[in-house]
Amino acid sequence: MKRLVLGLLSLIGILSLVIVVRAVCFNSRQITVSPAARIHFDKAAASERLSRAIQFRTVSTPDSVQSSSTEFERFHEFLKEAFPRIGGQLGNETVGGHSLLYTWKGQDSALKPILLMAHMDVVPATGDGWRYPPFSGALAEGYVWGRGAMDDKAGVMAILEAAEFLLGDGFIPKRTIYLAFGHDEEIGGYRGAAKIAELLRSRGVELDFLLDEGMNIFHGVVPGISTPVALIGTAEKGYLSLQLSAETPGGHSSIPPADTAIGIVSRALSRLETRPFPSRLIGATRQMLEFLGPEMSWTNRLALANLWLFDPLVRKQLARSPLVNAVIRTTLAPTIFQAGATDNVLPTDATAVINLRLLPGDTITGAVDHVRRVINEPQVNITPLPAPIEASGVSDINSRGFRIIARTVREIFPPALVAPALLVAETDARHYAGLTKNIFRFLPILLGPEDTRRYHGNDERISIDDYERCIRFYAQLIRNSQR
């Protein structure tokens, strides 16, 4: 007995030692750099140009493709005027109707090109509840306001400002730089980004890396860290909607049968809600914890440095926040429910739609199987809706591309931390998957807890100081990418 107790105690001792040693050796992954030298440009004039860009109603809805056509043409004319050096010195092609591809030829064709991208279209905005009209591009209170100020005309314009500045500065790239701006990202990017990617593929282009919009720099949003955190999207979730339906004979509601159409579909939804997809700390999310863990308090470090032991505990804790829950599992949400029309008639059918966002590693086929298994009811028909999207691969954080982006963030936004992360939405970047494995999704703007709702919401805005840093980021990134 004594020997058993002693054995047990020494086992606990060894275990504790391992845990503590791992936490102590959980070193910071942040690279040390000096802040970049400030470049000088007229930030008031740049903000004015962003304001003008917002005033073009380049709105994307499934049936706006025709009606927005003239707005895109006018916007392109404006870009020519606003950026004369780019117009004169870069190759410029219109692709898929209204998307733009600029080619900034490098001196050394043996080096793989990089691609910076953003999208020119925006989601609709009615103006209800906005502080300034959404297409006014109001310059007020130190901000540029309007639809596209964050998503994603700030990206388009900041990339162009950076290129125009560098051309004026006499910069000549060794490595070719592509600038690609889609015109239908908000409705899938099939006419724009997909066509540009196809064109580049037909020319045999292989990219060193690409940077698209995606995640941002978050301040006061990541629990346990008070420093701003730049999250670089190294993967994105997939998208799948399933229709669940049941048919029954119907009849009068005064003599109801045991099973009704509404009851069957409701039961299916209830089972799905009580048995979610399993959570997993893998891929981009696991890497995020490895990057952020060393920057956290001692207790958090103990747990995150020892995921081999605390994985289930950490997952349980993380799942409490819907925001974090979304990056550790495939999520499922009922979005449509239709059945019945009259209060005393049993409907013959009931239909629901569930929207799934697939964790990289989960497939469309696997998700459908899971749903079928959980519902476990032959009377429920499960039909996938058109155009599902598989989850992306995970980009390599040891690649040159990731290192260059991380370095640039640290140079322009000190003391911001950098971490890879999983994006829960889709971007145009996925269309380029065949051109490079190194796809990154990040727009360098600072967001506080109140700001994420502005994406596709009211009062979208960017501060003039933030926009200036955004331009400096792209200029520095282009320079750094040449090494």
Q: Which residues of the chain form contacts with Zn ion (CB under 5 A)?
A: 151-152
Tokens for 324, please give them: 């974090």
Strand partners, 283: none
Cα–Cα distance measured from residue 284 to residue 393, given in angstroms and rounded to the nearest whole number: 10
| Residue-wise DSSP of 240-264 | EEEEEEEE---EETTS--S--HHHH
Cβ at position 430, least distance to Zn ion in Å? 13
> Which residues, 6+ apart, have CB-to-CB distance to 76 below 8 Å?
94, 98, 100
Cβ atoms 235, 423 nearer than 8 A: yes
User: Among the options 121, 151, 161, 468, which is catalytic?
Assistant: 121
Q: Which is nearer to Zn ion, 152 or 184 (CB)?
A: 152
- Cα four-point dihedral sign 458, 460, 463, 464: negative
Cβ at position 152, least distance to Zn ion in Å? 4
Cα–Cα distance measured from residue 171 to residue 114, given in angstroms and rounded to the nearest whole number: 16
Q: What are phi and psi of 314, to 5 degrees?
A: -65, -45
Q: Which is nearer to Zn ion, 29 or 461 (CB)?
A: 461
Radius of gyration for the chain, computed over Cα atoms and rounded to the nearest angstrom: 26
| Residue-wise DSSP of 397-459 | TTSHHHHHHHHHHHHHSTT-EEEEEEESS--GGGGGTTT-S-EEEEEEEEE-TTTGGGTTSSS
Cα–Cα distance measured from residue 305 to residue 435, given in angstroms and rounded to the nearest whole number: 35
Q: Which is nearer to Zn ion, 215 or 404 (CB)?
A: 215
15, HSE (Cβ side, Cα atoms, 13 Å): 9
247 is catalytic: no
Q: Which is nearer to Zn ion, 331 or 427 (CB)?
A: 427
Q: Which is nearer to Zn ion, 271 or 456 (CB)?
A: 456
Residue 100: strand, helix, or coil:
strand
Cβ atoms within 10 A of the Cβ of 281, count?
Answer: 20
Q: Which is nearer to Zn ion, 210 or 289 (CB)?
A: 210
Cβ at position 65, least distance to Zn ion in Å? 17
Cβ at position 395, least distance to Zn ion in Å? 19
185 is catalytic: yes
User: Among the options 151, 184, 185, 411, which is catalytic?
Assistant: 185
Residues labelled catalytic: 121, 185
